[in-house]
Chains A and B, each alone.
Chain A
């Protein structure tokens, strides 16, 4: 899955 929109990195 792509991280499409969900940015869980800094």
Chain B
């Protein structure tokens, strides 16, 4: 495992930890899109179907369990925890996320590496992950005051995929390891969707001002 992959995994892990910290200790999920969190739960559930059959390393298995467990517990907290759910911006979080699921599924059935159940589900998870951030970005744009933890969460989530792209380039040259073009395209789309956010995130950081996205 190279440094870029590790850094990518760690930023991904930190993004989840930041979100859990906000929910668990501050008991607030203000500014967080439940729609995006539900999509991530589906992403991990469909991507890690091989978790018990395809053993790579203890590291991989533990990380998969963390991402599965955290994504489903975040959804549970936001929907059912009696204090946390009160802070959910239900009226603002209106992106109809289910309309993303069907096109991703159809695309996965049409364009995949191999037409098997596990491969199609894996490809579906890539397509869905690429666009899963959209409800969160829409909610951010509607939120007047984005708190620090929410801003950091989205930043870390975007940085994770950007670092994975650097990892793929590195692996291409050093290991002769080819990542399928589907993975490349999805990773690029996912990172580009965050690029606009990155711009405003760095601006607010540079000027030491509160993060706010233009309407």
Contacts and interface: CB of A to CB of B under 8 A. Distances in A.
Nearest to B176: A1
Given A10-B9, A10-B12, A3 B60 contact: no
Main SS class of interface, B: helix
Interface of B: 5, 9, 12, 50, 54, 56-57, 60, 63-64, 67, 113-114, 119, 122, 164, 167, 176-180
Nearest to B118: A5
B164 A9 contact: yes
Contacts of B176: 1
Contact of B178 (A2, A5, A7, A8): A2
B174 to A, nearest CB: 13
Given A1-B176, A5-B114, A10 B54 contact: no
B181 to A, nearest CB: 11
B56 A8 contact: yes
